Amino acid sequence: MPRARSAPTLDDVARQAGVSTATVSRCLNSPERVVERTRTRVLSAVEELGYTPNFGARVMAARRTFTIGAIIPTMENAIFARGLQAFQEELHTRGYTLLVASSAYRPEIEEEQIKSLVARGADGLLLIGYARDAGIYDYLRQRAIPTLVAWAFAPDSTQPCIGFDNRASMQALTDKVIAMGHSRIAAISGILEGNDRAQGRLQGIKDGLRHNGLDPDSLIVVETPYEIEGGAQAFDQAIAGKERPTVVMCGNDVLAAGAMRRARELNLSVPDDISVTGFDDIELARILTPPLTTVHVPHRKMGRRAAVELVKMVEQDSVGLSEQLQSSLKLRGSLKPLT
Protein backbone atom coordinates (compact mmCIF):
# COMPACT_ATOMS: atom_id res chain seq x y z
CA MET A 1 0.00 0.00 0.00
CA PRO A 2 1.54 3.32 -1.05
CA ARG A 3 2.33 5.77 1.68
CA ALA A 4 1.12 9.32 1.67
CA ARG A 5 3.36 11.28 -0.68
CA SER A 6 2.70 14.40 -2.60
CA ALA A 7 1.37 13.88 -6.08
CA PRO A 8 3.67 12.90 -8.95
CA THR A 9 4.41 15.65 -11.45
CA LEU A 10 5.08 15.82 -15.14
CA ASP A 11 8.74 15.79 -14.28
CA ASP A 12 8.43 12.50 -12.47
CA VAL A 13 6.70 10.96 -15.44
CA ALA A 14 9.29 12.34 -17.82
CA ARG A 15 12.14 10.93 -15.78
CA GLN A 16 10.45 7.56 -15.44
CA ALA A 17 9.87 7.35 -19.18
CA GLY A 18 13.25 8.77 -20.07
CA VAL A 19 11.90 11.66 -22.14
CA SER A 20 11.51 15.39 -21.72
CA THR A 21 8.54 17.05 -20.04
CA ALA A 22 7.52 18.50 -23.38
CA THR A 23 7.05 15.04 -24.80
CA VAL A 24 4.95 13.93 -21.89
CA SER A 25 2.83 17.02 -22.22
CA ARG A 26 2.35 16.33 -25.90
CA CYS A 27 1.39 12.73 -25.22
CA LEU A 28 -1.41 14.01 -23.06
CA ASN A 29 -2.59 16.89 -25.19
CA SER A 30 -1.89 16.03 -28.81
CA PRO A 31 -0.95 12.37 -28.90
CA GLU A 32 -0.74 12.31 -32.69
CA ARG A 33 2.35 14.48 -32.52
CA VAL A 34 4.40 11.81 -30.80
CA VAL A 35 5.48 8.52 -32.26
CA GLU A 36 3.72 5.36 -31.08
CA ARG A 37 6.71 3.77 -29.35
CA THR A 38 7.39 6.79 -27.17
CA ARG A 39 3.73 7.30 -26.46
CA THR A 40 3.16 3.86 -25.03
CA ARG A 41 6.27 4.22 -22.91
CA VAL A 42 5.04 7.53 -21.55
CA LEU A 43 1.52 6.34 -20.97
CA SER A 44 2.65 3.35 -19.01
CA ALA A 45 4.77 5.64 -16.87
CA VAL A 46 1.69 7.77 -16.29
CA GLU A 47 -0.24 4.68 -15.31
CA GLU A 48 2.48 3.36 -13.08
CA LEU A 49 2.84 6.56 -11.10
CA GLY A 50 -0.87 7.26 -10.98
CA TYR A 51 -0.23 10.66 -12.45
CA THR A 52 -3.03 13.22 -12.73
CA PRO A 53 -2.12 16.58 -14.27
CA ASN A 54 -2.32 19.56 -11.98
CA PHE A 55 -5.19 21.59 -13.24
CA GLY A 56 -4.01 24.91 -11.84
CA ALA A 57 -0.65 24.63 -13.51
CA ARG A 58 -2.18 23.57 -16.76
CA VAL A 59 -4.54 26.50 -16.75
CA MET A 60 -1.77 28.93 -16.08
CA ALA A 61 0.34 27.67 -18.88
CA ALA A 62 -2.37 27.10 -21.44
CA ARG A 63 -4.72 29.90 -20.46
CA ARG A 64 -7.73 27.79 -21.21
CA THR A 65 -9.72 25.71 -18.76
CA PHE A 66 -12.45 24.07 -20.82
CA THR A 67 -14.61 24.91 -17.87
CA ILE A 68 -17.95 26.67 -18.00
CA GLY A 69 -19.42 28.24 -14.89
CA ALA A 70 -23.10 28.50 -14.07
CA ILE A 71 -24.65 30.40 -11.22
CA ILE A 72 -28.19 29.45 -10.35
CA PRO A 73 -30.34 31.00 -7.65
CA THR A 74 -30.90 27.81 -5.73
CA MET A 75 -30.19 24.12 -5.68
CA GLU A 76 -32.76 23.43 -2.99
CA ASN A 77 -35.51 22.57 -5.36
CA ALA A 78 -35.74 21.11 -8.80
CA ILE A 79 -36.58 24.26 -10.75
CA PHE A 80 -33.18 24.42 -12.40
CA ALA A 81 -32.17 20.80 -12.09
CA ARG A 82 -33.48 19.49 -15.36
CA GLY A 83 -32.30 22.37 -17.51
CA LEU A 84 -28.89 22.37 -15.89
CA GLN A 85 -28.58 18.65 -16.34
CA ALA A 86 -29.15 18.99 -20.06
CA PHE A 87 -26.75 21.92 -20.14
CA GLN A 88 -24.02 19.90 -18.53
CA GLU A 89 -24.62 16.84 -20.70
CA GLU A 90 -24.26 18.90 -23.82
CA LEU A 91 -21.13 20.59 -22.48
CA HIS A 92 -19.67 17.23 -21.62
CA THR A 93 -19.99 15.92 -25.15
CA ARG A 94 -18.15 19.03 -26.28
CA GLY A 95 -15.30 18.47 -23.89
CA TYR A 96 -16.21 21.03 -21.28
CA THR A 97 -16.72 20.70 -17.57
CA LEU A 98 -19.47 22.51 -15.73
CA LEU A 99 -18.93 24.25 -12.42
CA VAL A 100 -22.12 25.19 -10.61
CA ALA A 101 -22.56 27.71 -7.84
CA SER A 102 -25.72 28.96 -6.21
CA SER A 103 -26.54 32.46 -5.08
CA ALA A 104 -29.53 31.91 -2.80
CA TYR A 105 -31.28 34.63 -4.86
CA ARG A 106 -28.89 37.19 -3.37
CA PRO A 107 -27.26 39.62 -5.80
CA GLU A 108 -24.17 40.17 -3.67
CA ILE A 109 -23.57 36.46 -3.38
CA GLU A 110 -24.08 36.08 -7.09
CA GLU A 111 -21.45 38.71 -7.71
CA GLU A 112 -19.04 36.94 -5.42
CA GLN A 113 -19.69 33.68 -7.20
CA ILE A 114 -19.17 35.23 -10.59
CA LYS A 115 -15.80 36.58 -9.51
CA SER A 116 -14.88 33.27 -8.02
CA LEU A 117 -15.71 31.39 -11.20
CA VAL A 118 -13.83 33.91 -13.28
CA ALA A 119 -10.84 33.65 -10.96
CA ARG A 120 -11.01 29.91 -11.46
CA GLY A 121 -10.62 30.57 -15.13
CA ALA A 122 -14.09 29.77 -16.43
CA ASP A 123 -14.03 30.12 -20.21
CA GLY A 124 -17.67 31.18 -20.20
CA LEU A 125 -20.57 31.81 -17.86
CA LEU A 126 -24.24 30.95 -17.71
CA LEU A 127 -26.44 33.24 -15.65
CA ILE A 128 -30.12 33.04 -14.84
CA GLY A 129 -32.18 36.07 -15.83
CA TYR A 130 -30.79 39.34 -17.06
CA ALA A 131 -31.58 41.74 -14.20
CA ARG A 132 -28.37 42.55 -12.42
CA ASP A 133 -26.03 45.39 -11.71
CA ALA A 134 -24.46 46.92 -14.81
CA GLY A 135 -21.09 46.83 -13.06
CA ILE A 136 -21.08 43.08 -13.28
CA TYR A 137 -21.63 43.14 -17.01
CA ASP A 138 -18.79 45.66 -17.30
CA TYR A 139 -16.52 43.43 -15.29
CA LEU A 140 -17.32 40.49 -17.54
CA ARG A 141 -16.90 42.53 -20.68
CA GLN A 142 -13.58 43.93 -19.54
CA ARG A 143 -12.27 40.43 -19.05
CA ALA A 144 -13.90 39.26 -22.25
CA ILE A 145 -15.73 36.40 -20.57
CA PRO A 146 -18.51 35.15 -22.84
CA THR A 147 -21.73 35.24 -20.86
CA LEU A 148 -25.12 33.85 -21.71
CA VAL A 149 -28.36 34.53 -19.91
CA ALA A 150 -30.95 31.78 -19.67
CA TRP A 151 -34.42 31.17 -18.24
CA ALA A 152 -35.54 34.48 -19.66
CA PHE A 153 -35.90 36.13 -22.99
CA ALA A 154 -35.88 39.84 -23.62
CA PRO A 155 -35.48 40.95 -27.20
CA ASP A 156 -34.08 44.31 -26.13
CA SER A 157 -31.47 42.88 -23.80
CA THR A 158 -27.87 43.78 -24.57
CA GLN A 159 -26.88 40.35 -23.35
CA PRO A 160 -27.45 37.32 -25.49
CA CYS A 161 -30.15 35.29 -23.84
CA ILE A 162 -31.97 32.08 -24.43
CA GLY A 163 -35.27 31.37 -22.83
CA PHE A 164 -38.92 32.07 -22.93
CA ASP A 165 -41.16 35.02 -22.32
CA ASN A 166 -42.16 34.77 -18.71
CA ARG A 167 -44.69 37.56 -18.99
CA ALA A 168 -46.46 36.32 -22.09
CA SER A 169 -46.53 32.74 -20.82
CA MET A 170 -48.20 33.76 -17.62
CA GLN A 171 -50.62 35.98 -19.47
CA ALA A 172 -51.64 33.05 -21.63
CA LEU A 173 -52.42 31.05 -18.52
CA THR A 174 -54.30 33.97 -17.04
CA ASP A 175 -56.40 34.35 -20.16
CA LYS A 176 -57.33 30.71 -19.85
CA VAL A 177 -58.16 31.02 -16.16
CA ILE A 178 -60.41 33.98 -16.84
CA ALA A 179 -62.01 32.21 -19.78
CA MET A 180 -62.99 29.52 -17.31
CA GLY A 181 -65.01 32.04 -15.43
CA HIS A 182 -62.63 33.06 -12.67
CA SER A 183 -62.40 36.70 -11.72
CA ARG A 184 -61.43 36.74 -8.06
CA ILE A 185 -57.77 35.91 -8.46
CA ALA A 186 -54.89 35.82 -6.00
CA ALA A 187 -51.25 35.62 -6.95
CA ILE A 188 -48.49 34.04 -4.91
CA SER A 189 -45.33 35.46 -6.37
CA GLY A 190 -41.67 34.79 -5.73
CA ILE A 191 -39.62 37.66 -4.32
CA LEU A 192 -39.76 40.31 -7.00
CA GLU A 193 -36.70 42.37 -6.24
CA GLY A 194 -33.87 41.60 -8.59
CA ASN A 195 -35.79 38.75 -10.16
CA ASP A 196 -36.93 39.53 -13.67
CA ARG A 197 -38.63 36.15 -14.09
CA ALA A 198 -40.82 36.68 -11.05
CA GLN A 199 -41.59 40.24 -12.15
CA GLY A 200 -42.49 39.10 -15.63
CA ARG A 201 -44.80 36.41 -14.39
CA LEU A 202 -46.66 38.73 -12.07
CA GLN A 203 -46.91 41.30 -14.82
CA GLY A 204 -48.35 38.60 -17.03
CA ILE A 205 -51.21 38.04 -14.61
CA LYS A 206 -51.93 41.75 -14.44
CA ASP A 207 -51.81 42.10 -18.19
CA GLY A 208 -54.17 39.17 -18.46
CA LEU A 209 -56.65 40.85 -16.16
CA ARG A 210 -56.45 44.11 -18.05
CA HIS A 211 -56.69 42.34 -21.36
CA ASN A 212 -59.96 40.80 -20.22
CA GLY A 213 -61.45 43.97 -18.85
CA LEU A 214 -60.74 43.24 -15.20
CA ASP A 215 -59.03 45.64 -12.82
CA PRO A 216 -55.36 44.68 -12.32
CA ASP A 217 -55.42 46.46 -8.97
CA SER A 218 -58.00 44.01 -7.69
CA LEU A 219 -55.35 41.32 -7.80
CA ILE A 220 -54.33 40.02 -4.41
CA VAL A 221 -50.56 39.63 -4.40
CA VAL A 222 -48.50 37.82 -1.81
CA GLU A 223 -44.74 37.76 -2.18
CA THR A 224 -42.70 34.95 -0.68
CA PRO A 225 -39.49 33.01 -1.28
CA TYR A 226 -39.66 30.17 -3.76
CA GLU A 227 -40.07 27.42 -1.20
CA ILE A 228 -42.80 25.00 -0.34
CA GLU A 229 -43.14 26.44 3.12
CA GLY A 230 -43.32 29.93 1.60
CA GLY A 231 -46.17 28.85 -0.63
CA ALA A 232 -47.98 27.32 2.31
CA GLN A 233 -47.79 30.45 4.43
CA ALA A 234 -48.62 32.73 1.54
CA PHE A 235 -51.75 30.72 0.90
CA ASP A 236 -53.12 31.76 4.27
CA GLN A 237 -52.68 35.39 3.37
CA ALA A 238 -53.99 34.93 -0.13
CA ILE A 239 -57.35 33.67 1.12
CA ALA A 240 -57.55 35.94 4.16
CA GLY A 241 -59.77 38.63 2.59
CA LYS A 242 -63.50 38.64 3.11
CA GLU A 243 -64.27 37.24 -0.30
CA ARG A 244 -62.14 34.23 -0.92
CA PRO A 245 -60.48 34.13 -4.36
CA THR A 246 -61.61 31.30 -6.60
CA VAL A 247 -58.15 30.68 -7.92
CA VAL A 248 -54.61 31.09 -6.64
CA MET A 249 -52.03 31.55 -9.37
CA CYS A 250 -48.53 30.72 -8.16
CA GLY A 251 -45.20 31.97 -9.48
CA ASN A 252 -43.92 28.43 -9.80
CA ASP A 253 -44.78 24.82 -9.11
CA VAL A 254 -42.99 24.76 -5.79
CA LEU A 255 -45.13 27.57 -4.43
CA ALA A 256 -48.20 25.82 -5.82
CA ALA A 257 -47.24 22.63 -4.02
CA GLY A 258 -47.00 24.55 -0.77
CA ALA A 259 -50.33 26.24 -1.41
CA MET A 260 -52.03 22.94 -2.13
CA ARG A 261 -50.58 21.36 0.96
CA ARG A 262 -51.93 24.21 3.03
CA ALA A 263 -55.32 24.00 1.37
CA ARG A 264 -55.55 20.38 2.37
CA GLU A 265 -54.51 21.22 5.92
CA LEU A 266 -57.35 23.74 5.97
CA ASN A 267 -59.77 21.20 4.57
CA LEU A 268 -60.26 23.14 1.41
CA SER A 269 -60.67 21.00 -1.64
CA VAL A 270 -58.64 21.75 -4.74
CA PRO A 271 -60.21 22.38 -7.21
CA ASP A 272 -63.76 22.26 -5.79
CA ASP A 273 -63.29 25.00 -3.23
CA ILE A 274 -60.37 26.72 -4.87
CA SER A 275 -58.25 26.28 -7.99
CA VAL A 276 -54.46 26.46 -8.04
CA THR A 277 -51.98 26.95 -10.88
CA GLY A 278 -48.21 26.78 -11.10
CA PHE A 279 -45.38 27.52 -13.50
CA ASP A 280 -42.49 25.39 -14.83
CA ASP A 281 -44.04 21.95 -15.07
CA ILE A 282 -41.41 20.17 -13.08
CA GLU A 283 -42.06 16.57 -12.09
CA LEU A 284 -43.68 17.75 -8.92
CA ALA A 285 -46.66 19.02 -10.89
CA ARG A 286 -47.74 15.56 -11.90
CA ILE A 287 -47.47 13.94 -8.51
CA LEU A 288 -49.62 16.45 -6.72
CA THR A 289 -53.22 15.58 -6.02
CA PRO A 290 -54.93 16.76 -8.08
CA PRO A 291 -52.24 17.16 -10.76
CA LEU A 292 -51.24 20.75 -11.23
CA THR A 293 -52.25 23.02 -14.08
CA THR A 294 -49.12 24.86 -15.03
CA VAL A 295 -47.01 26.40 -17.77
CA HIS A 296 -44.72 23.91 -19.40
CA VAL A 297 -41.21 25.19 -20.02
CA PRO A 298 -38.87 23.26 -22.34
CA HIS A 299 -36.10 23.07 -19.77
CA ARG A 300 -33.99 20.40 -21.39
CA LYS A 301 -34.10 22.05 -24.75
CA MET A 302 -33.17 25.34 -23.18
CA GLY A 303 -30.21 23.78 -21.41
CA ARG A 304 -28.96 22.12 -24.55
CA ARG A 305 -29.28 25.20 -26.70
CA ALA A 306 -27.58 27.32 -24.09
CA ALA A 307 -24.62 24.94 -24.05
CA VAL A 308 -24.30 24.95 -27.82
CA GLU A 309 -24.47 28.71 -28.05
CA LEU A 310 -22.13 29.37 -25.17
CA VAL A 311 -19.48 27.03 -26.51
CA LYS A 312 -19.78 28.76 -29.84
CA MET A 313 -19.26 32.11 -28.16
CA VAL A 314 -16.18 30.80 -26.39
CA GLU A 315 -14.58 29.07 -29.33
CA GLN A 316 -15.39 31.47 -32.09
CA ASP A 317 -15.20 34.54 -29.96
CA SER A 318 -18.63 35.43 -31.28
CA VAL A 319 -21.15 37.72 -29.70
CA GLY A 320 -23.89 35.19 -29.11
CA LEU A 321 -27.35 34.82 -30.59
CA SER A 322 -30.48 35.11 -28.51
CA GLU A 323 -33.19 32.57 -28.96
CA GLN A 324 -36.75 32.49 -27.79
CA LEU A 325 -38.35 29.21 -26.87
CA GLN A 326 -42.04 28.54 -26.67
CA SER A 327 -43.78 27.54 -23.50
CA SER A 328 -47.14 25.82 -23.45
CA LEU A 329 -50.10 25.39 -21.14
CA LYS A 330 -50.61 22.14 -19.27
CA LEU A 331 -54.18 21.93 -18.12
CA ARG A 332 -54.65 19.45 -15.30
CA GLY A 333 -57.00 18.83 -12.45
CA SER A 334 -56.04 21.65 -10.11
CA LEU A 335 -57.86 24.21 -12.23
CA LYS A 336 -61.58 23.90 -12.72
CA PRO A 337 -64.11 26.04 -14.60
CA LEU A 338 -66.29 28.10 -12.34
CA THR A 339 -69.82 26.78 -12.69
Q: Which of a copy of itself, DNA, none does residue 47 bind (CB under 5 to 8 Å by kind)?
A: none
Nearest C-alpha neighbor of 128 from the set 109, 146, 102, 108: 102
Of 53 and 194, nearer to a copy of itself (C-beta) is 53
Is the CB of residue 257 less than 8 Å from the CB of residue 272? no
Binding to DNA by CB under 7 A, coded x per residue (else -) over 57-76, reads xx-xxxx-------------
Q: Residue 134 interacts with DNA (CB under 7 A)?
A: no
Q: Residue 35 interacts with DNA (CB under 7 A)?
A: yes
Q: Which stretch binds DNA (CB under 7 A): 30-38, 101-109, 257-265, 319-327?
A: 30-38
Instruction: Give the nearest distance from C-beta 81 to a copy of itself in angstroms.
Output: 5
Q: Residue 28 interacts with DNA (CB under 7 A)?
A: yes
Q: Residue 54 interacts with DNA (CB under 7 A)?
A: yes
Q: Which of a copy of itself, DNA, none does residue 316 bind (CB under 5 to 8 Å by kind)?
A: none
Q: Residue 56 interacts with a copy of itself (CB under 8 A)?
A: yes
Q: Which of a copy of itself, DNA, none does residue 258 bind (CB under 5 to 8 Å by kind)?
A: a copy of itself
- Footprint of a copy of itself on residues 243-282 (CB under 8 A)? 257-258, 260-261, 264
Nearest C-alpha neighbor of 96 from the set 312, 291, 331: 312
> Site for a copy of itself (CB under 8 A): which residue of 26, 39, 82, 332?
82
Q: Residue 28 interacts with a copy of itself (CB under 8 A)?
A: no
Contact residues: a copy of itself, CB under 8 A? 1-7, 50, 52-57, 59-60, 75-78, 81-82, 84-85, 97, 99-100, 115-116, 118-121, 138-139, 141-144, 228, 257-258, 260-261, 264, 283-284, 286-289
